[in-house]
Amino acid sequence: MLNMGGMFSYSDMESLGELCNAISSCKKCDLYFSRKNAVCGFGNVKPKLLIVGEAPGSKEDDMGKPFVGRSGKLLDKALEYAGILKHEIYISNSVRCRPKIGRAPKISEIRKCSGYLSSEISLLKPRIIVPMGNSAIKSVGLILGINLGRISEVQGSILYADGKYLAPQFHPAAILRDPKKLERFKDNFLKVSGFMEDLHVKAPEGLFIDYKVRRI
């Protein structure tokens, strides 16, 4: 059972469909006022990897789907470069409604929305989670009851907490703002891809040594 740190829980929700219905009608924070569509997670329900972004952008808000705008296209290219198949993963967000004029979500909004991500983690049971950007790392940290630090400090590393591997990564929007980070972004996914493969063939001790996995 995940440490919910006193947050609301959706343990009574037994399916992703129920969860998506709850998200679609949610009014738990003020982001509800600015959204056109709340955006549910999307992807393989037995994912090898759970990717967590920040918040829906304008296109996602219009279409009600995660990562369909410019950030999504960059993410697709990086996944393809790393040989990670899109149909093997599940993509979600820290908050499900678009903040006005594309601002970052507040910690209070991330906290109120984190119960949905917690439920997805419980239902999907991913072995590896890739939080992309500071909002995602805050959300995953709240769920695990751990301060995971800032993304600039932990991106590219592999962490182990509560029986899960975390592979923090830049958010693609940060790469669009600063293309100098692109190679690092792609290489981080390449490392995750290798780790996904090795997870099935190597003993945990070997994995911890080879990938310098840090227990937190």
Minimum distance from residue 62 beta carbon to ligand SF4 (Å):
16
- The reply on whether position 171 binds ligand SF4 by CB under 6 A is no
- The reply on whether position 158 binds ligand SF4 by CB under 6 A is no
**Choices 91-99, 123-131, 175-183, 203-211 (CB under 6 A): range interacting with ligand SF4:** 91-99
φ/ψ of residue 165, rounded to 5: -95, 135
Instruction: Spell out the SS3 assignment of the chain.
Output: CCCCCCCCCCCCCCCHHHHHHHHHCCCCCCHHHHCCCCCCCEECCCCCEEEEECCCCHHHHHHCCCCCCHHHHHHHHHHHHHCCCHHHEEEEECCCCCCHHHCCCCHHHHHHHHHHHHHHHHHHCCCEEEEECHHHHHHHHHHHCCCCCCHHHHCCCCEEECCEEECCECCHHHHHHCHHHHHHHHHHHHHHHHHHHHHCCCCHHHHHHHCCCEEC
- The reply on whether position 40 binds ligand SF4 by CB under 6 A is no
Minimum distance from residue 110 beta carbon to ligand SF4 (Å):
9
Q: Which of 2, 95, 136, 192 binds ligand SF4 (CB under 6 A)?
A: 95
Token match 């569509």: residue? 37
Q: Whose Cβ is closer to ligand SF4: residue 32's or residue 86's?
A: 32
- The reply on whether position 32 binds ligand SF4 by CB under 6 A is yes
Q: Whose Cβ is closer to ligand SF4: residue 47's or residue 115's?
A: 115
φ/ψ of residue 132, rounded to 5: -105, 110
- The reply on whether position 166 binds ligand SF4 by CB under 6 A is no
Q: Which of 13, 31, 151, 159 binds ligand SF4 (CB under 6 A)?
A: 31
- The reply on whether position 113 binds ligand SF4 by CB under 6 A is yes
Q: Whose Cβ is closer to ligand SF4: residue 42's or residue 81's?
A: 42
Minimum distance from residue 125 beta carbon to ligand SF4 (Å):
22
Instruction: Please tell me the distance from the alpha carbon of residue 148 to that of residue 110, in angstroms, as a whole number.
Output: 15
Q: Which of 13, 19, 23, 173 binds ligand SF4 (CB under 6 A)?
A: 23
Minimum distance from residue 13 beta carbon to ligand SF4 (Å):
13
Six-digit token string for 206: 């070997």
Minimum distance from residue 187 beta carbon to ligand SF4 (Å):
32
Does residue 91 contact residue 67 with C-beta atoms inside 8 Å? yes
What residues line the site for ligand SF4 (CB under 6 A)?
23, 26-29, 31-32, 38, 95-97, 109, 112-113
